[in-house]
Amino acid sequence: MENITKYDPFLSHFETLIDEKQINNKSSKNKIDLFSSSLGSCQFSSTSSDKPPILPCPTSTIDSFSIKKSLISNIETSGSQLTPLQFDFFSLIHNYYDVYYPNRTNINDVGEQLRFVICLHLINHVLKTRSRILSHNAKLKENPDLDYHDQGFTRPKVLIIVPFRESVRRIINCFENLLLTMDDSEKNDQIQMSHRKRFKEEYGGEEIDNENNDSKFQRTSNEYNEIFAGNIDDHFRLGISVTRKSLKFFQSVYKSDFLIVSPVGLRTLLEKRHRKRKHKQSSDSSESDSDNENTNENKASSIADFLSSIECIYIDQLDILSMQNLDHLFYILENLNCIPQQATSSTDFSRIRHWSLNGWARFYRQLIVLSSFTSPLFLSLFHRFSTNYSGQCLIQPSFPLNGYIRPLSTFNQLFQRIPVCDPTLRFNYFIEHILPRFDTSAYEHTLIYLSSYFDFVRLKNYMRTEKHKQFNYLTLNEYSTKKQILLARNIFYHRQVRFLLMTERFHFYHRYRIKGIRHILFYDLPSYGHFYPEIVQFLTLPHVIDKKKTTQTNQTDEPSTCTALYAKEDALKLAYILGQNAVTDLLNSEKNTHLFTNK
């Protein structure tokens, strides 16, 4: 049995009982700016008086960290060498700081590098927890009078939230590489892996079919192929129990160390438990009204009791999760670390940590968030649920130097600043000042790009129900069937249609190249910076020329236009599209319109 030294971050973090004043004193945070060549700029904030992290990482050897010897041995046996990025990032999470990293890209396998060291940290955490409990169990057998507090209310310690089953498969590959050596993985695979065959069947998948990558699609980018490789089913939940040399898949939530879930998969389970509990309450006629009220107040802690002792949360590819439904993610995070109202059969209250009994588990919980870009919503999520007393490390986003404007100098691109940002005020401003300008014969075949599905529904309903105007429009959204997509594209290209409303999620999932577009109007800026040039490139595709109109005016075609609406609150989106230097000029300028031309 390995001994854990007093300098181990695991021991110092979870066995320190923080002061209640430190919990209530959230306003006085110490902030320190850090920098490393691999991570970039980082802002560290904490209410604790402990030493801040050191960047860049002062060590370049994996055995200098407090990691289980078996894991270090397997890493050395495999011949893996950690990069400076991995060392810097691991030095932060190893000390149980909350980390927000908005620069997860596929360049140089940054995402895979970070996934490996995060899995190393999480397995090390679970193995140390198990090792400490077993060590205390042995001591208690010899002396029952000893007092140890080393457990939570339930067994699950790590919650991993990812968008697709393919992400789960890659995480499991990291687990296997860390837990199994090259020599014994082939000999004892069946003994060490429980339900491995079932896991391969349910979480395996084929690569993207490249036969469809013709002129109709933009599926040739590495970014798209990386996101949608393998099994992209987004409804799953997997419980895993881990020992030093084994992995057991498909465990129940109360017998799992790891819970690897998609947001919709875990929310489905929570709502199912809620319905069962509600049905049980309604069938129990002997309960009094006051008892029912108390039960309703404790509803969240009852349906999510298996999440009461989560100590580490790893949210990967938050940008992709936002393309699914972030409401599910917020719902899950809101139900974490609630004190259960009923104990399970395996709960030993004499071994539960004092801070768990105090309801302070969220202040010891570590949150690791990775995304390919940042946004106010992402930052709000991190700051809201990052309650770790050790501190928070906020990695600053890296923006393209010159943005995506210069490579697209063929067409004039107009950026127009609007005075409102609130969704309702923005919509009212759009239908009063912007839409009438485009609702003329000069703007036939205009694509209106909307990043929010709610704005899409609002604008579609307005065009459909407006009494004073008959709008000529078509729609494409993420819920459109293949038949609807084919019909809409065909009609838009061959007929006189004024507007085509398209959602950002439609482009994210399908990447169709829409022909026939003469004008583009961005209702708001794309969330992904590289979506802007992909959409603008639609103007270079063939479109049908109105012969009657060209005969009367003696012109071959009208010049295409691109207009993007933005508010001051869209500074982050602008930075990804225009580059950081140009954004400063736009936001500080007194002009509301800025035209980018090829002259």
C-alpha pair distances (Å), 582 with each of 461, 537, 588: 36, 21, 10
pLDDT at 520 over 50: yes
Give 20's pLDDT tier (boundaries 50, 70, 90). Answer: confident
How confident is the model over 222-253, as pLDDT tens digits? 889 889 999 999 999 999 999 767 789 999 99
Prediction pTM value: 0.92
Domains 29-182+191-205+222-275+303-395 and 413-543+558-596 share a fold: yes
pLDDT confidence of residue 218: 58
pLDDT confidence of residue 599: 60
Domain locations in the chain? Answer: 29-182+191-205+222-275+303-395, 413-543+558-596
Q: 266: Cβ–Cβ under 8 A, 6 or more apart, which residues? A: 161, 237, 259, 328, 332
Percent of the chain with pLDDT over 70: 87
What tokens does 305 get? Answer: 């009791």
What tokens does 203 get? Answer: 């979480």
How confident is the model over 540-569, as pLDDT tens digits? 888 776 544 444 444 446 788 999 999 999
How confident is the model over 70-91, as pLDDT tens digits? 899 989 888 788 999 999 999 9
How confident is the model over 250-293, as pLDDT tens digits? 999 999 999 999 999 999 999 998 888 777 766 664 444 444 44
How confident is the model over 189-223, as pLDDT tens digits? 434 688 999 999 999 876 555 544 555 565 567 88
How confident is the model over 383-435, as pLDDT tens digits? 999 999 999 999 999 998 888 887 666 788 999 999 988 999 999 999 999 99
Give 532's pLDDT tier (boundaries 50, 70, 90). Answer: very high
pLDDT at 500 over 70: yes
What tokens does 425 get? Answer: 């005020």
How confident is the model over 316-326, as pLDDT tens digits? 999 999 999 99
pLDDT at 183 over 70: no
Homologous superfamily (CATH) of 413-543+558-596 is: P-loop containing nucleotide triphosphate hydrolases (3.40.50.300)
Least confident of 147-161, 283-297, 458-472, 560-574: 283-297
Q: Which residue is associated with the tokens 């690569």? A: 207
Q: Please, what's the b/e burial string for 288-317 (b: 16 or more CB within 10 A of its CB; e: otherwise)?
A: eeeeeeebeeebbbebbbbbbbbbbbbbbb
Give the whole-angstrom CA distance, residue 492 versus residue 486. 10
Q: Looking at the domain 29-182+191-205+222-275+303-395, which fold is it?
A: Rossmann fold (3.40.50)
Q: What are phi and psi of 309, to 5 degrees?
A: -115, 25
Q: 25: Cβ–Cβ under 8 A, 6 or more apart, which residues? A: 47
